[in-house]
Amino acid sequence: MKLNWNVDSSWTLFIDRDGVINERNFEGYILNKKDFVFKEGVLESSKSLFSKFKHVVLVTNQQCIGKGLISLDGVREIHDYMESCLIQNGAKIDLVLVAPEMRGAPHSTRKPLPNMAILAKHKFKDIDFRKSIMIGDTDSDIEFGKNLEMKTVLIQSLEKSTSIPDVKVGSLMELNKWLQ
Protein backbone atom coordinates (compact mmCIF):
# COMPACT_ATOMS: atom_id res chain seq x y z
CA MET A 1 0.00 0.00 0.00
CA LYS A 2 1.06 3.59 -0.60
CA LEU A 3 -0.30 6.69 1.10
CA ASN A 4 -1.11 9.48 -1.34
CA TRP A 5 -0.65 12.31 1.10
CA ASN A 6 1.96 14.11 -1.04
CA VAL A 7 4.31 14.38 1.92
CA ASP A 8 7.35 16.47 1.06
CA SER A 9 10.09 18.33 2.91
CA SER A 10 7.67 21.10 3.93
CA TRP A 11 5.67 18.75 6.18
CA THR A 12 6.04 18.23 9.95
CA LEU A 13 6.00 14.94 11.81
CA PHE A 14 4.54 14.97 15.31
CA ILE A 15 5.31 11.75 17.12
CA ASP A 16 4.42 10.25 20.48
CA ARG A 17 7.05 8.44 22.55
CA ASP A 18 5.78 5.50 24.63
CA GLY A 19 4.32 2.79 22.43
CA VAL A 20 5.62 4.42 19.25
CA ILE A 21 9.37 4.97 19.66
CA ASN A 22 9.88 2.78 22.71
CA GLU A 23 8.07 -0.14 24.28
CA ARG A 24 5.26 1.05 26.54
CA ASN A 25 5.38 -0.05 30.18
CA PHE A 26 1.77 -1.08 30.79
CA GLU A 27 2.57 -1.71 34.46
CA GLY A 28 3.89 1.80 35.14
CA TYR A 29 6.26 4.35 33.65
CA ILE A 30 9.65 4.59 32.00
CA LEU A 31 11.66 6.11 34.85
CA ASN A 32 15.25 5.56 33.71
CA LYS A 33 17.13 4.89 30.51
CA LYS A 34 17.71 1.21 31.27
CA ASP A 35 13.92 0.76 31.01
CA PHE A 36 13.79 2.68 27.73
CA VAL A 37 13.69 -0.03 25.05
CA PHE A 38 13.31 0.99 21.42
CA LYS A 39 10.50 -0.74 19.58
CA GLU A 40 11.62 -3.17 16.91
CA GLY A 41 12.65 -1.41 13.69
CA VAL A 42 12.54 2.15 15.07
CA LEU A 43 16.28 2.78 14.95
CA GLU A 44 16.56 1.14 11.52
CA SER A 45 13.68 3.08 9.93
CA SER A 46 13.88 6.45 11.70
CA LYS A 47 16.54 7.97 9.43
CA SER A 48 14.49 7.34 6.31
CA LEU A 49 11.17 8.25 7.93
CA PHE A 50 12.32 11.43 9.70
CA SER A 51 14.21 12.69 6.64
CA LYS A 52 10.93 13.00 4.73
CA PHE A 53 9.91 15.93 6.99
CA LYS A 54 11.12 19.47 7.57
CA HIS A 55 10.50 19.21 11.32
CA VAL A 56 10.18 16.23 13.66
CA VAL A 57 8.52 17.06 16.98
CA LEU A 58 8.17 14.59 19.84
CA VAL A 59 5.04 15.28 21.92
CA THR A 60 4.68 13.16 25.03
CA ASN A 61 2.37 13.11 28.06
CA GLN A 62 4.45 12.25 31.13
CA GLN A 63 2.21 12.44 34.18
CA CYS A 64 4.86 10.45 36.07
CA ILE A 65 6.46 13.89 36.60
CA GLY A 66 3.25 15.29 38.10
CA LYS A 67 3.00 12.21 40.32
CA GLY A 68 6.51 12.88 41.64
CA LEU A 69 7.92 9.57 40.37
CA ILE A 70 10.60 11.30 38.27
CA SER A 71 11.83 14.85 37.82
CA LEU A 72 11.72 16.81 34.58
CA ASP A 73 15.52 16.50 34.55
CA GLY A 74 15.17 12.73 34.86
CA VAL A 75 12.88 12.66 31.82
CA ARG A 76 15.38 14.90 29.96
CA GLU A 77 18.11 12.31 30.67
CA ILE A 78 15.94 9.61 29.12
CA HIS A 79 15.29 11.86 26.11
CA ASP A 80 19.00 12.66 25.78
CA TYR A 81 19.66 8.92 25.64
CA MET A 82 16.87 8.41 23.08
CA GLU A 83 18.10 11.27 20.91
CA SER A 84 21.73 10.11 21.03
CA CYS A 85 20.69 6.62 19.87
CA LEU A 86 18.62 8.13 17.05
CA ILE A 87 21.52 10.41 16.00
CA GLN A 88 23.87 7.39 15.92
CA ASN A 89 21.42 5.93 13.40
CA GLY A 90 21.26 9.13 11.32
CA ALA A 91 17.89 10.38 12.62
CA LYS A 92 17.18 13.64 14.40
CA ILE A 93 14.28 14.99 16.46
CA ASP A 94 14.11 18.78 16.18
CA LEU A 95 12.04 19.47 19.29
CA VAL A 96 10.99 17.45 22.34
CA LEU A 97 7.91 18.66 24.20
CA VAL A 98 6.77 17.11 27.47
CA ALA A 99 3.42 17.55 29.24
CA PRO A 100 4.28 16.91 32.90
CA GLU A 101 0.82 17.50 34.34
CA MET A 102 -1.53 14.95 35.83
CA ARG A 103 -4.54 13.95 33.75
CA GLY A 104 -7.30 16.54 34.29
CA ALA A 105 -4.97 19.29 35.57
CA PRO A 106 -6.06 22.88 34.81
CA HIS A 107 -4.03 24.73 32.14
CA SER A 108 -2.67 21.44 30.89
CA THR A 109 -0.36 20.91 27.93
CA ARG A 110 -1.44 17.25 27.77
CA LYS A 111 -2.69 15.70 24.56
CA PRO A 112 -5.37 15.79 23.19
CA LEU A 113 -5.25 19.53 23.96
CA PRO A 114 -3.35 21.41 21.21
CA ASN A 115 -0.90 23.26 23.48
CA MET A 116 2.24 21.28 22.61
CA ALA A 117 1.55 21.79 18.89
CA ILE A 118 1.08 25.52 19.48
CA LEU A 119 4.42 25.62 21.34
CA ALA A 120 6.05 23.85 18.38
CA LYS A 121 4.55 26.42 15.99
CA HIS A 122 6.00 29.24 18.13
CA LYS A 123 9.44 27.67 17.65
CA PHE A 124 8.97 26.76 13.96
CA LYS A 125 6.70 29.42 12.44
CA ASP A 126 6.42 27.52 9.14
CA ILE A 127 4.55 24.55 10.63
CA ASP A 128 1.24 24.02 8.85
CA PHE A 129 -0.89 21.59 10.84
CA ARG A 130 -2.75 20.53 7.68
CA LYS A 131 0.65 19.47 6.31
CA SER A 132 1.51 17.48 9.42
CA ILE A 133 1.20 13.89 10.54
CA MET A 134 0.61 12.79 14.13
CA ILE A 135 1.77 9.27 14.98
CA GLY A 136 0.59 7.75 18.25
CA ASP A 137 -0.80 4.68 19.92
CA THR A 138 -3.61 6.13 22.04
CA ASP A 139 -6.90 7.96 21.61
CA SER A 140 -5.35 11.14 23.03
CA ASP A 141 -2.66 11.05 20.29
CA ILE A 142 -5.19 10.58 17.50
CA GLU A 143 -7.55 13.23 18.91
CA PHE A 144 -4.60 15.64 19.27
CA GLY A 145 -3.88 15.26 15.55
CA LYS A 146 -7.53 15.43 14.51
CA ASN A 147 -8.14 18.57 16.63
CA LEU A 148 -5.41 20.28 14.57
CA GLU A 149 -6.51 18.83 11.19
CA MET A 150 -3.36 16.70 10.89
CA LYS A 151 -3.19 13.32 9.20
CA THR A 152 -3.27 10.69 11.94
CA VAL A 153 -1.51 7.34 12.20
CA LEU A 154 -2.25 4.81 14.92
CA ILE A 155 0.49 2.37 15.85
CA GLN A 156 -1.49 -0.68 16.88
CA SER A 157 -0.63 -2.19 20.25
CA LEU A 158 -2.24 -3.67 23.34
CA GLU A 159 -3.52 -0.16 24.07
CA LYS A 160 -7.27 -0.03 23.41
CA SER A 161 -8.22 2.73 20.99
CA THR A 162 -11.67 3.84 19.88
CA SER A 163 -10.60 6.88 17.84
CA ILE A 164 -10.58 6.47 14.08
CA PRO A 165 -7.17 7.42 12.61
CA ASP A 166 -6.52 8.01 8.93
CA VAL A 167 -4.26 4.94 8.94
CA LYS A 168 -3.46 2.04 11.27
CA VAL A 169 -0.04 0.39 11.08
CA GLY A 170 1.92 -2.09 13.15
CA SER A 171 5.14 -0.08 13.30
CA LEU A 172 7.07 2.98 12.17
CA MET A 173 8.86 0.70 9.71
CA GLU A 174 5.54 -0.18 8.07
CA LEU A 175 4.50 3.48 7.89
CA ASN A 176 7.84 4.40 6.34
CA LYS A 177 7.24 1.88 3.55
CA TRP A 178 3.76 3.31 2.92
CA LEU A 179 5.19 6.84 2.62
CA GLN A 180 7.76 5.82 -0.06
Q: Which residues pair with 169 in a beta bridge?
A: 155
Residue 101 neighbours by CB under 8 Å, 6+ apart? 63, 66, 107, 108, 109, 110
Check 8, 18, 35, 128 and give the catalytic one. Answer: 18
Pair 16, 135: CB distance under 8 Å: yes
Residue 12 bridge partners (DSSP): 55, 132
Residue 17 C-alpha from the chain's centroid: 5
Q: Has 8 been annotated as catalytic?
A: no
As a whole number of angstroms, the distance between CA 35 and CA 178 comes to: 30
Interhelix angle 42-50/72-88, rounded to 10 degrees, is 80
Catalytic residue check, 18: yes
Which of 8, 16, 126, 141 is an active site residue?
16
The residues annotated with a catalytic role in the active site are 16, 18
